[in-house]
Amino acid sequence: MDTRANIQWFPGHMNKARNEVKEIMPQMDVIIEVLDARIPYSSENPMVATLRGDKPVIKILNKADLADPEMTQAWMDYFEQEDGVKALAFDDNKAADVHRIIELCKKLMPNKAESGRQIKAMILGIPNVGKSTLINTLAGRAVARTGNEPAVTKSQQLIKLDGGIMLYDTPGMLWPKVENANSGYRLAATGGIRDTAFDFDDVAGYTAEYLLQAYPELLKERYKIEELPKTDGDFFEIAGRNRGLLKKGGVVDIYRMSEILVNELRSGTIGRISLETPTMREAEEAVVAEQRIALEEKKLAKEEEKRLRRLKTRKNRK
């Protein structure tokens, strides 16, 4: 099932924030985009690529302690192939490494740094990616509200950092339309959108199907399964029975097992997992590009059909 129909992607405060970002981005020197290291592609806001022009971008792969370390490195190498893009990985121990962001901002704007002029940096990130916690660590004090629920920050704020850097914080933003259905599932699985906004069973099924292929050994160990089944439905049946999640008549409570899988993915209890790879991104973007072409052709065909109908109507009137 396509989750896009079930998800409220663009509430009012996000639309307001998007307009504010568009207005002030031309004044910025550096863009800092905070990504979820488990889903660097799906948590990447396409608006940044559209609006940044040639401004340098620092991509922070946050929550790296929850992601597959080899895949995190692969993503960093992938991002840095693009001109003007630098990538850093951060885990829970941000305080020890956070100075790297300030140093990199100064390195990317050497003229301003050497002359003592203020460097303007905008920080962006989807909801619940850990942006506010990172800001508080950068500032050395609590200046941004934090929480486990998406979309805690609702308004823009300015934060003065060491090293002559002025940080422009923005609310966590999704975007008007997620064209790649896979990204919708991954955002839901990692907590980028509220649990009430999607069908939990569908998201858990998608997650289990991926993990069965990509991380079978982690599933075996965590859920005490000697030989994994081929389908997500059979996985939930076996794992739920192993956990004793039985309803009347000995029927496995699939919904409860679904909740456990997603929550243990989010907490890292299953292990360090990445839900997408650079190769997957390339393949999925190719599919999305084909879908765009098909939709545009369909739109043009409808417009041509309307034009011909109008011509026929005029001809009949004569």
Verify that 225 and 127 share a domain, yes or no.
Answer: no
Verify that 81 and 215 share a domain, yes or no.
Answer: no
Tally the residues of the chain.
318
Q: What are phi and psi for residue 67, nearest 5 degrees?
A: -100, 160
Q: How many domains does the chain have?
A: 3
Write down the pTM of the prediction: 0.83
Binding residues: 62-65, 128-133, 172
What contacts 24+ positions apart, CB below 8 Å, involve 134-138?
134/34, 134/60, 134/62, 134/90, 134/94, 134/98, 135/159, 135/167, 135/169, 137/94, 137/95, 137/98, 138/98, 138/101, 138/102, 138/167
Between the two ends of the chain, the Cα-to-Cα distance in Å is: 50
DSSP-derived pairing of the beta strands 30-36 and 157-161:
unpaired
**pLDDT at residue number 109:** 93
Binding residues for GTP: 62-65, 128-133, 172
Note down pLDDT in tens along the chain; length 318 residues.
Answer: 343 334 444 455 556 667 777 888 889 999 999 999 999 999 998 778 777 888 999 999 999 999 999 999 999 999 999 989 999 999 877 666 788 899 999 999 999 988 989 999 999 888 888 888 888 888 887 776 554 444 444 456 888 888 889 999 877 666 556 678 898 899 999 988 777 667 888 999 999 999 999 999 999 999 999 999 999 999 999 999 999 999 989 999 999 999 999 999 999 999 999 999 999 999 998 888 888 788 888 888 888 888 888 887 777 776
Verify that 129 and 235 share a domain, yes or no.
Answer: no
The token duo for 70 is 């080899």
The answer to the question of residue 191 being in a domain is no
The span from the CA of 122 to the CA of 27, in Å, is 10
**pLDDT at residue number 66:** 96
> Which domain covers residue 292, as residue numbers?
277-318
Verify that 96 and 208 share a domain, yes or no.
Answer: no
Half-sphere exposure of 114 (CA within 13 A, CB side): 5
**pLDDT at residue number 145:** 58
* CA-only gyration radius of the chain, Å: 23
**pLDDT at residue number 177:** 64
Q: 273 and 265 in contact (C-beta within 8 Å)?
A: yes
Tokens 């989010």 map to which residue? 266
Verify that 79 and 145 share a domain, yes or no.
Answer: yes
The answer to the question of residue 38 being in a domain is yes
Pick from 180, 206, 30: which is nearest to 102 by CA? 30
DSSP-derived pairing of the beta strands 119-125 and 157-161:
unpaired
